[in-house]
Every structure is written in structure tokens, then in C-alpha cells.
Structure 1
Amino acid sequence: MRTRRTLLISVSASALVATAATGGLAVVATASPAPTATGTIEVSTAAELKSALAGASPGDTIHLADGTYTGNFKTSTAASSGSRITLTGSSKAVLTAGGGYGLHLNGASYWTVKGITVTGGQKGIMIDSAKSVVVDTVTVHGLDMEGVHFRKSSTDGVIKGSRIYDTGNDGRGMGEGVYVGSAGGVSDKSDNVQILNNTIGPDVGGEAIDLKEGTTGGKVTGNTFDGKGLTGNNYDDSWIDVKGNNYVIENNTGKNTTNNGYETHSQQSGWGCGTVFRGNRSTLSGATGDKQLAINVTNFSGSCRTTVYASNTVTGGKGLTNITVTP
């Protein structure tokens, strides 16, 4: 009589366990995510997502099935300009954190995050020391503090086509929709960040967009702002606060604000300069509307200029701006 034997074979490339027995071979999949032949890693659980983020390689796509992914998710793997890493799913693929960062890209240059929802944490998507990160058509909401933050000299980033609302729920006025740079110095060179065609608000506790001193050369265009829910804490009383240099703010639409629509400030000497405002449409109706400006420039001189074009328009409030308008 022959002795029956069972053999377990680990196949790392496909994360399968094969069971060989007398009379045949049975193959059983484990819980680990498996890349397909095209480099797409399909995941459907929080454990699989953490594994995929840790093990991703340039050129990979991590695809999230619809569902809830509970935890704090992070990666420090960098891709390259010619071989990006993509994390993608529908808006029904929801990263839900109980605090901390929902998704942290720490040194993870050349990533694209597309389609998913991030909610429930202290901060939504945090991008640190990472070049050319693209955040595309995501939904970010239900946070204690800011929604999406480009920080620690994260240059050439893009956030586009996304929706951010219901932030700043801890009441400290730290609920900016999109935050670029760091406060308190000029060492954070998160330069050339583009903020394009997003919907930010309502119930965003800070500014829709805060552009910090030390950052340069970004572009804010085609966005829609609803300031309903601004707390007014820490002077959070406008849709955009520009403290960096040489930004272009154009073709945005805003309504509901506790003070002005757009503001520039010089928090550090030589900063808050060179901003261009063009084609923005502001609605300043409300109980305090007779005191508001669409564009309030707090520091204007020969060495620190701001340009406000006549293509900007305003309804309600005190007027368009407090400086001479350029035809």
C-alpha cells in the first residue's frame, strides 16, 4: 500500500499555495495581493493594500475594489518620471482612518492617486518630500484638519478634478482644503504645485487653499470654492491666502466667505509677492458683504507687487480690490 503525501509549495511571484497530493494538484490562493501580467495589483482588503503599498515597484498599478479600507496607509517607495506608480479605484473605494493620516506618501515621488475616497483621519492625503505626485479626481472629507497637504519641498505636484469638503472638525481652524508648504519659515520649497478644477467646500474649516511662505511658482485655476463653514480661527477668512511668491490665480469661482475672497500676506520678508489674479469670479453677498473685497492685497510696493486684472469680477461686497486694476 502506498503512503499518501501532501506537499505545500510557496510560489512567491503569484502568492499562491499549491497542494500536491496523490492523484492530482489543487491550487489555493492566499490573502496576499497578486500582480497580473500587466503589472496591476488587485486588492480588496486593508491588509492587501498595506502589502501592495509596501511592495509596489515603478510601473505598477494598485487597483482597489469598492469597499472600506480601515487604517492608516503609507508608502515610501519612489517611482520615476517614465515609470509612475498608480493607486486607483472608484469613489466607493474608501480609505477610513481613525486618526493620523489617511494616506501618507513619504518620499514617494511620481505616484498618481486616482478616484478613491479618503476620510476619517486627522489629515487626508499627506505628501512629504515627494516630487511630481498627482492627485486626480479623489474625494476627501470628514477630517479633523486639512484635506490634502504638499509639504517638505514636495515640488511639481498636481491636484485636479477632486472634491474636498467637511474638514477642520477639531475646531482649531486647521481645516484647509489644500495646503502647500509649511508655516513659520521659508525652508519648505514645495514649488510649482498646480491646483486645477477642484471643488472645495462647503464646511472647510480653514481656507480652501493656503499657499505658504517659501513656496513659489504654483498655479490655481478653474476651481470652485464655497466658504460656508469657515471658522475664522487663525485668520481663516478667505478662499485663498497667498503667502508664497509668483503664483497665478485664475478662472476660479467663489461664494460665501466671512471676510474677503482672496488675500495676499507677507508673513516673511520678501514673500507674498508677485501674485497674478486673472478671470476670477467672486460672489460676496451676505450679512457682512458691504465690508468685503474680492481680492485684498495687504502688502503692495515696488519690490512686492501683485497684479489684479480687470477680467476679475465681483458681485456684492465693497468692491473688487484695494489696488489699481490692470486693464
Structure 2
Amino acid sequence: MAPGVYVGQFMTQITGTKEDPIFLCGTAAAVIDGEGIKKGYAFHLNGASYWRLVGFTVRNSQKGVMADGTTHSVFQGLRIHEIGDEALHLRTFSSDNLVVGNTIWNTGRRREKFGEGVYLGSAVSNWRNHTNNKPDKSDRNIVRGNRIRATAEAVDIKEGTSGGQIIGNIFDGSALSGDVNDSWVDVKGNGYLIEGNVGRKTPEDGFQTHQILKGWGINNTFRRNTAHLDGGRGVGIKLTSKPNRVTCDNKISGGRLTNGGCS
């Protein structure tokens, strides 16, 4: 993409292959502008896999980058901002994708409650709409090395998803609305590794687990994270479902490490 502003909402259903992925690349000066924060997806991979979205800017849409039924795709070095709801959403059985080195800010411009940075899967209340009432198994996605300041969770991991990794990200919670959005990361899925992340500023906790649906929100591991609560009223890692593991090499300032023990 040459530098410039590309106005509109863009969608593709064309799929690449492992041997020949499809690249859409640009610098920060190449801007996809979705024409308004109240409706639409600025860029939509709709059943399209093996894509590489690299380096450009996405702004001014209800949702920034949406992936439905996408596998083996890479979202790298994007700048996503001025978004009505969530910035980057992997949904509807979108698995084995990599979200790396992106910068996300000024989400939730339409409604703060829905302003997640990176959103994995679908809430159980939306399975009827997106997955024929089946769990949205958007599995084994990796979210690594991103910088995120969002009005809702920087990373929201939904029930029904498994086996992902949230590694080496930097979270700024200064924009968290503090209503239901009171942590950097919510883990409602199973078997995630949350490692080496650094967070600052939160109204409540740094990281949380939840059991929204029986059998979910378990077997997750929190390792080598650093939580600076900066006035938050809670703990670094709050476990409201079990079993989950918090290792003792997590670091905390401004409060307690966890509401449970570490090992």
C-alpha cells in the first residue's frame, strides 16, 4: 500500500496457502479509514486464511480488523486507533494466528464497555449468532509484543477458546473505564500461557480469570509477568476460577501478587 488514506470498509474472502500467503503491507502513512466509529469493520478477513497484514494504520471504524474463520494469518506492526469498539478480533473458529508488534490505542470511542484491544473468540451469548450454538474454538492464537491502551481489556480471552499464548506485551490501563472493565487481561478460556507481560495502571486488578461457563477459565499459567497496580484496589493476578497456576516469579508493585498462592 502506498502512503495515503484509503477510505471505506474492506473485506476479502480470498485465501492464500502455506506456500504462497497473501501480503498486504504498508507503512504507518498508509491508512485505512473506515468512515466512522458507529458501524462496520475497517478490514475484514471473512473465511480468508494465510494472510499477512503488515505495517499500516487502521482507524475510524466501529471495529478495526475483524477475522472470521481465519487460520495461519499474521497481524504485524499495525497501528489501530480511533475505534468505536474493539481494535482486533479473532472470531468464528479463527485459530493458529499470530498478533505481533501492533500498537493499539483510543478504542471504545462508541462505547467504552466494548473497547477491547485484542479479542479472542466469542462470548457464549454470541455463539448462536456466529457458531451455530457451538463453542467458538478460536484456538492456539498467539498475542506477542504488542502495546495496548484500551477502554476495556487489552486482551479479552473468551470461553470456548484454548491453548493460546499472551507473551511479552505492554499494557497501559490508564484508559480503562473501571466499570466492568477493571483489568488488563481477562482469561475465560483454557490452557493459556500468560508470560512476560508488563502492565501499568488499573482501577482494580492486573490479570483475572473467570468461569463464565462450567469447565472454562481453567488450567491457565501466569509466569514472569510484571504488574504495577499504580493505585488499583485489587491484586496483580486475581483467580476466580480453578485450577490455574501463578508462578512465584511474577512481580508486583502497589499491592499483593494474587488472591491465592504462587508455586
> Fold match, TM over 0.5?
yes
Q: Counterpart in 2 of 1:269?
A: 214
- Whole-angstrom CA distance in 1 between matches of 2:89 and 2:241: 26
Tell me which stretches of 4 or more aligned residues in structure 1 moved more than 6 Å. Answer: none
Q: Structure 2, unaligned stretches of length 5 or more?
A: 128-133
The one-letter code matched in structure 1 to 2:208 is E
- Whole-angstrom CA distance in 1 between matches of 2:199 and 2:42: 28
Q: Find the partner of 2:11 among 68, 71, 74.
A: 74
Q: Find the partner of 1:281 among 208, 212, 226.
A: 226
Q: Give the 5 Å matches for 1:87-106.
A: 87-98=24-35, 99-106=39-46
Q: Counterpart in 1 of 2:55?
A: 115
Deviation at residue 81 of structure 1 after TM alignment = 1.1
Q: Find the partner of 1:195 among 134, 137, 143.
A: 143
The one-letter code matched in structure 1 to 2:235 is L
- Whole-angstrom CA distance in 2 between matches of 1:285 and 1:66: 39
Q: Give the 5 Å matches for 1:175-214.
A: 175-184=115-124, 185=127, 187-201=135-149, 204-214=150-160
The answer to whether the 8 Å contact 1:171/1:231 transfers is: no
- Whole-angstrom CA distance in 1 between matches of 2:181 and 2:112: 10
Q: Counterpart in 1 of 2:130?
A: none
Q: Find the partner of 2:69 among 129, 136, 147.
A: 129
The reply to whether residue 232 of structure 1 matches residue 178 of structure 2 is: yes
1:242-300 deviations in whole A, cap 9, x for unaligned?
000000000000001111000000000000001100000010122xx3x3100000022
The reply to whether residue 216 of structure 1 matches residue 153 of structure 2 is: no
The answer to whether the 8 Å contact 1:173/1:232 transfers is: no
TM-score (norm 2): 0.94
Deviation at residue 172 of structure 1 after TM alignment = 4.4
Q: Which has the larger radius of gyration?
A: 1
Q: Counterpart in 2 of 1:23?
A: none
- Whole-angstrom CA distance in 2 between matches of 1:232 and 1:245: 25
- Whole-angstrom CA distance in 2 between matches of 1:180 and 1:132: 15
TM-score (norm 1): 0.76
Deviation at residue 171 of structure 1 after TM alignment = 2.6
Q: Counterpart in 1 of 2:131?
A: none
Q: Give the 5 Å matches for 1:233-248.
A: 233=179, 235-248=180-193
The reply to whether residue 295 of structure 1 matches residue 237 of structure 2 is: yes
Deviation at residue 187 of structure 1 after TM alignment = 1.6
The one-letter code matched in structure 1 to 2:241 is N
Q: Counterpart in 1 of 2:113?
A: 173
Which structure ranks higher in relative contact order (CA pairs < 8 Å, sequence separation ≥ 6)? 2
The answer to whether the 8 Å contact 1:71/1:96 transfers is: yes
Q: Structure 1, unaligned stretches of length 5 or more?
A: 1-63
